[in-house]
Amino acid sequence: MSLEKTNALIDHLDKDFAGADTRISPETTAATTRLIAEDEEAAKEWAYLQRAVDAVQQAGLYQQVASARQQWESQAESAAETQQQDHPPAEAPAAGMVRNLYRNMMRAAAVILVLLAGGAIFKYVRLSSSSLYSEYYSSYELNTSRGAAGQDSIDQAYTARNWNEVLTLSADAKTSSNKMEFLAGMADLELKKFDDAIAHFEQVIASNTHSGQDYFEDEAEYYLAMSWLAKRKVNEAMPILEKIKANKDHLYHDKVEKMSFTDLRLVQYKENK
Amino acid sequence: MKVAEKYTDAELTSAISSGKDLDPAIHFLYRQYSEAIRSFIMSYGGNEQDADDVFQETVIAFIDCVKKGKYRQESSVKTFLASVARHIWFNDLKKKERAGIREKKYESARDQQEKDISHQIGDVEQRRQLRELLTQLGEPCHKLLHLFYYENLPMKEIVEHLPYENEQVVRNKKYKCLQQLTGLLKANPALAGQLNELIK
């Protein structure tokens, strides 16, 4: 492609930008449009030029968002410092320790897998996300002493296993609470509406982050993992289950610890195949 | 950071589409949604750095999607951001865990919702590669193209930002810079291959 034609394509590309060359006549514009439509080489060059402009715009957007992120992080840092001065936090476990623990668990799991190869093949055929879900899922029992005094209507509907009523009450409520979101998620889970259940559980987690509370957090995390298993998405369930297993204070730690992570990894391998 | 501006979903998308005052809109996205999305990523096994990176990539994908008119407003901005973040994070996870062999298998396992998101936000990895190209271009060309195609400044103002004598010199330089960039694009097998597929 001649330099002249390429430059004509660039002028054509520039016409919607503020820096465009205003001396380009309508006749030239029409001729370039025809060139792109009729000449294969020109059409190809045109596509490359458009993608090049896309690259410039992507890089510009990245720069702009990165700068906003930087400002946000420095703001958050100073807010955290102020909070730390007022309330020094309890010491958290080092991230490296958690990673080492994870690596060691992986190594151990690998050795066990080799030793139990025969058993694993049998399991391999039998196992699936949904079989694990059926094995590990148990309905959530509502602890009525946890909420306000006395059972309210959503508690009663939940205890009566009237799942549709739970969903109606939750949808009609003027103000939502974590408990209501969680119970709606459980009702969806019981009705096998897994996508809706996931949305409710994620909402509980997000709302806690926003408010700084942990109301129904542990429950939402555990049943979020269960929902992913039910949806046959073990990849999504695994990080949550590993997080629960690593946290001894988690309400569902003991329950998750009893799960067979070998089985879970076998399913992960099988379903990613 | 600018003092709080508040937007409804419609105001936010309209501010982004117009391209004017994008900064307050980005700051609003960070202020309003970063904590929830970050905690969401961390609940899926990400660390703080992962969560920050995913949120940044989510904001970029969202703005790009709105600017290109692909955001259909079928869900709230919050829900859409959560879906985009989840999509990006799981793609990153899969890449980290099994570089190379997973994509095809993963694609087949995706449900419709994920495919919709993928369709709306485009290929995140391709976007990263496109950005990478600009770093190979050299600062003067990068700056000139940025002022013209991203800042959308008139030539008169571009001349003021650059050490060139007049508009014609800048225009000639821009021709060369853009051709240099298309040259880099053609020399990148992954990007050129994708483009050639589209042109066919």
3-state secondary structure chain A: CCHHHHHHHHHHHHCCCCCCCCCCCHHHHHHHHHHHHHCHHHHHHHHHHHHHHHHHHHHHHHHHHHHHHHHHHHHHHHHHHHHHHHCCCCCCCCHHHHHHHHHHHHHHHHHHHHHCHHHHHHHHHHCCHHHHHHHHCCCCCCCCCCCCCCCCHHHHHHHCCCHHHHHHHHHHCCCCCHHHHHHHHHHHHHCCCHHHHHHHHHHHHHHHHHHCCCCCHHHHHHHHHHHHHHCCCHHHHHHHHHHHHHCCCCCCHHHHHCCCHHHHHHHHHHHHC
Q: Is the pLDDT of residue B106 over 50?
A: no
CB contact under 8 A, B171 and A242: no
Q: Is the pLDDT of residue A19 over 50?
A: yes
pLDDT at A111: 73
Q: Do A144 and A209 fall within a single domain?
A: yes
How crowded is the C-beta side of B89, counted as CA atoms within 13 Å?
29
A231 contact residues in B (CB cutoff 8 A): 111
- Residue in chain A closest to B103 (alpha carbons) equals A272
Please give the tally of structural domains in chain A: 2
In-domain check, residue A115: no
Best residue of B68, B83, B92, B134 to probe chain A, by most A CBs closer than 10 Å: B134
Confidence of residue B103 (pLDDT cuts 50, 70, 90): very low
Interface of B with A in 13-72 (CB under 8 A): 22-23, 26-27, 30-31, 34-40, 43-47, 52, 55-56, 59-60, 63-64
Question: What is the enclosing helix (H) or strand (E) of B73?
Answer: none
Question: What domains sit in chain B, N to C, each tagged with a CATH number?
Answer: 9-122 (1.10.1740), 130-199 (1.10.10)
Query: What's the rounded Cα separation, in Å, for the pair B150 and A57?
Result: 5
Confidence of residue A149 (pLDDT cuts 50, 70, 90): very low
CB contact under 8 A, A209 and B35: yes
Residue, of A1 and A162, whose pLDDT is higher? A162
pLDDT at B173: 94
Q: Do A58 and A166 fall within a single domain?
A: no
Q: Do A249 and A142 fall within a single domain?
A: yes
Q: Do A162 and A239 fall within a single domain?
A: yes
Q: Which residue in the set B46, B56, B158 is minimally distant from A69, CB to CB? A: B56
In-domain check, residue A88: no
Q: Is the pLDDT of residue A165 over 90?
A: yes
In-domain check, residue A251: yes
Please check whether residue A136 is in contact with residue A157, taking contact to mean a CB–CB distance below 8 angstroms. Answer: no
Q: Does B171 touch chain A (CB under 8 A)?
A: yes
Q: Does B82 touch chain A (CB under 8 A)?
A: yes
Closest-CA distance, B72 to chain A, in angstroms, reads: 20
B145: nearest Cα among B169, B184, B177: B177
The CA distances from residue B190 to B92, B137, B183, in Å, are: 18, 18, 14
Q: Is the pLDDT of residue A128 over 80?
A: no
CB contact under 8 A, B149 and A57: yes
Query: In terms of residue numbers, what domain contains A9?
Result: 1-82
Q: Taking residues A20-33, report their average pLDDT.
A: 88
Q: Do A141 and A34 fall within a single domain?
A: no
DSSP state of B98: S
Look at A32-41, A42-51, A81-90, B142-151 and tell me which has the smallest mean pLDDT. A81-90
Q: Do A139 and A217 fall within a single domain?
A: yes
Q: Does B164 touch chain A (CB under 8 A)?
A: no
Q: If you average pLDDT over every residue of chain B, what do you get?
A: 83
Look at A132-136, B25-29, B136-140 and tell me which has the smallest mean pLDDT. A132-136
Q: Give the ipTM.
A: 0.85
Closest-CA distance, A99 to chain B, in angstroms, reads: 11
The count of residues in chain A is 273
Q: Is the pLDDT of residue A151 over 60?
A: no
Confidence of residue A262 (pLDDT cuts 50, 70, 90): confident
Q: Taking residues A153-163, report their average pLDDT.
A: 90
pLDDT digits (tens, 9 = 90+) for A69-102: 888 777 777 777 777 777 665 655 566 566 667 7
Q: Is the pLDDT of residue A188 over 90?
A: yes
Q: Do A141 and A257 fall within a single domain?
A: yes
The percent of residues in chain A predicted with pLDDT above 90, rounded, is 32
Q: Is the pLDDT of residue B193 over 50?
A: yes
Residue, of B142 and A112, whose pLDDT is higher? B142
Q: Taking residues A154-183, report their average pLDDT.
A: 90
Residue, of B197 and A21, whose pLDDT is higher? A21
Best residue of B179, B188, B197, B200 to probe chain A, by most A CBs closer than 10 Å: B179
CB contact under 8 A, A210 and B36: yes
B175 contact residues in A (CB cutoff 8 A): 6-7, 10
Q: Looking at A14, A49, A82, which one is the last position of a domain?
A: A82
List of residues 6+ apart from B126 with CB closer than 8 A: B190, B191, B194
Q: Is the pLDDT of residue A9 over 90?
A: yes
B110 contact residues in A (CB cutoff 8 A): none
Query: What's the rounded Cα separation, in Å, for the pair A208 and B36?
Result: 9
pLDDT at B199: 63
Residue, of B142 and B74, whose pLDDT is higher? B142
The percent of residues in chain A predicted with pLDDT above 70, rounded, is 86
pLDDT at B74: 79
Q: Which residue in the set A48, A59, A210 is minimally distant from B182, CB to CB? A: A48
pLDDT at B109: 46
pLDDT digits (tens, 9 = 90+) for B9-24: 999 999 999 877 788 9
Query: What's the rounded Cα separation, in Å, for the pair A227 and B79?
Result: 18
Q: Is the pLDDT of residue A124 over 80?
A: no
Residue, of B185 and A75, whose pLDDT is higher? B185
In-domain check, residue A87: no
Confidence of residue B123 (pLDDT cuts 50, 70, 90): confident
Query: What's the rounded Cα separation, in Å, for the pair A257 and A260?
Result: 8
> Token digits for A21?
């060359």
pLDDT at A194: 92
Q: Does B99 touch chain A (CB under 8 A)?
A: no
Best residue of A15, A22, A51, A247 to probe chain B, by most B CBs closer than 10 Å: A51
CB contact under 8 A, B30 and A69: yes
CB pairs under 8 A between A and B: 160
Q: If you average pLDDT over every residue of chain A, what do you get?
A: 83
Q: Which residue in the set A18, A95, A236 is minimally distant from B44, CB to CB? A: A236
Please check whether residue A29 is in contact with residue A15, taking contact to mean a CB–CB distance below 8 angstroms. Answer: yes
Q: Do A66 and A143 fall within a single domain?
A: no
Query: What's the rounded Cα separation, in Å, for the pair A269 and A267?
Result: 5
In-domain check, residue A10: yes
pLDDT at B104: 45
